[in-house]
């Protein structure tokens, strides 16, 4: 029987030569005996694929006894245990998606690219993202000896368009909301662009009336967000408790319950395509349309990079004033450079 792989030597290194394609691959050894064992294993796995997998399991079991029995459920549990508390909860919830049942109890080393493609048939951005994350975690931890899918073979799935809540929608929500604490909470989201968890966690101690600033450390990135307190935000804060949490009842419930309550309110009003996070998009879009300097917006939203802020503000449409009007607003005579 013709052997598919031949053993050749160039310099001090041994290579395998594919007798069909003539492709050469280094065996990573200069020891002839070791090279012959690798070639023999490659030929046996070609003739009998099931035997090849059994041989691989035998070798891997000698390296790590738990490697051959580890399933994707173990990797998912490890992945869910990383990150902030709210991130862990979100990951556990998303990993319950039925698409992951296709590989949940499958051994890592028995997983094929077709298994992954079956999961990726679900047109869900979060499913695609999590599958790639748990795959990279398994490879990085050494639990998966080889990638299931090469980086270039992962299908691209563009996320759906996100938008900020409009001023008209915000006004309708406030008008319909009877709970005063929840109403103040929505007003604060509109004025600050804070994430729902950061806003719910705000305390009176985050306010400095001497400098009229509101400063808090973001839960997600640990970066600081700082913004000056304007008249509307001042009224919201002064209507809240003077010590401790500004929204004690809202802070006591989980983010999913806050989101569910907001969804119900929007559903009753016929408002579609928004969530509590839409207040964050809206703030960035309003800042861009108003000509607010990007570095100020970054500081107010607590972003570490300009790229993140641009992503939030990509839906903004800026109406550019005429040069004549802009010169007049700056008090600059035509053709005369403005002083720095």
Segment 148-162, tens digit of pLDDT: 888 888 888 776 677
The better pLDDT of the pair 297, 57 is held by 297
* Pairwise CA distance, residues 292 & 277, whole Å: 20
State the pLDDT confidence band at 305, using cuts at 50, 70 and 90. low
pLDDT of residue 276: 94
What mean pLDDT do residues 75-81 have? 94
Range scoring the smallest mean pLDDT among 28-32, 74-78, 313-317: 313-317
**Cβ atoms 75, 148 nearer than 8 A:** no
The mean per-residue pLDDT over the stretch 171-189 comes to: 96
Of 194-203, 233-242, 306-315, the least confident? 306-315
Mean pLDDT, rounded, for 284-294:
84
Confidence of residue 306 (pLDDT cuts 50, 70, 90): low
| 3-state class (DSSP) for residue 111 | coil
Task: Supply the pTM of this predicted model.
Answer: 0.62
Q: How confident is the model at residue 58 (pLDDT cuts 50, 70, 90)?
A: very low
Q: Identify the DSSP state of 5.
A: E
In the chain, the largest separation of any two C-alpha atoms, in whole Å, equals 91
DSSP summary character for residue 142: T
Distance CA 67, CA 221 (A): 34
Give the rounded percent of residues in the chain with a pLDDT score beyond 90: 41
212, HSE (Cβ side, Cα atoms, 13 Å): 8
CA 5 centroid distance within chain? 44
Question: How much is the pLDDT for 3?
Answer: 77
pLDDT of residue 102 exceeding 90: yes
pLDDT at 80: 93
At 340, the pLDDT band (50, 70, 90 cuts) reads: very low
Query: What one-character DSSP code corresponds to residue 252?
Result: T
* Residue 213: pLDDT band with limits 50, 70, 90: very high
Give the integer Cα–Cα distance in Å for 76 and 93: 11
275 vs 282: CA distance, rounded Å: 11
């Amino acid at each position: 029987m013709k052997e598919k792989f031949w053993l050749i030597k160039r310099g001090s290194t041994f290579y395998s030569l594919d007798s069909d394609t003539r492709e050469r691959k280094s065996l990573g050894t200069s020891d002839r005996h070791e090279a012959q064992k690798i070639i023999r294993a490659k030929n046996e796995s070609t003739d009998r694929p099931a035997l090849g997998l059994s041989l691989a399991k035998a070798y891997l079991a000698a390296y790590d006894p738990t490697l051959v029995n580890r399933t994707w459920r173990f990797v998912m549990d490890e992945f869910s245990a990383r990150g902030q508390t709210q991130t862990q909860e979100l990951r556990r919830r998303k990993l319950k998606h039925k698409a992951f049942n296709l590989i949940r109890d499958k051994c890592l080393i028995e997983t094929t690219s077709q298994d992954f493609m079956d999961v990726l048939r679900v047109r869900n951005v979060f499913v695609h993202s999590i599958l790639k994350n748990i795959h990279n975690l398994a490879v990085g931890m050494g639990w998966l000896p080889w990638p299931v899918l090469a980086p270039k073979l992962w299908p691209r799935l563009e996320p759906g368009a996100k938008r900020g809540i409009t001023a008209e929608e915000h006004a309708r929500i406030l008008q319909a909301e009877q709970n005063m604490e929840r109403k103040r909470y929505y007003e604060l989201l509109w004025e600050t662009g804070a994430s729902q968890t950061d806003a719910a966690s705000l305390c009176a101690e985050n306010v400095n009336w001497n400098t009229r600033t509101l400063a808090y450390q973001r839960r997600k990135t640990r970066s600081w967000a700082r913004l000056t307190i304007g008249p509307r935000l001042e009224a919201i804060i002064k209507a809240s408790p003077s010590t401790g949490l500004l929204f004690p009842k809202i802070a006591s419930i989980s983010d999913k319950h806050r989101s569910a309550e907001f969804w119900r309110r929007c559903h009753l009003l016929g408002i579609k395509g928004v969530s509590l996070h839409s207040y964050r998009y809206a703030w960035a879009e309003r800042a861009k349309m108003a000509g607010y300097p990007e570095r100020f917006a970054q500081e107010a939203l607590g972003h570490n990079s300009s790229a993140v802020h641009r992503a939030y503000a990509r839906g903004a449409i800026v109406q550019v004033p005429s040069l004549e009007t802009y010169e007049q607003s700056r008090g600059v005579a035509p053709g005369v450079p403005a002083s720095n």
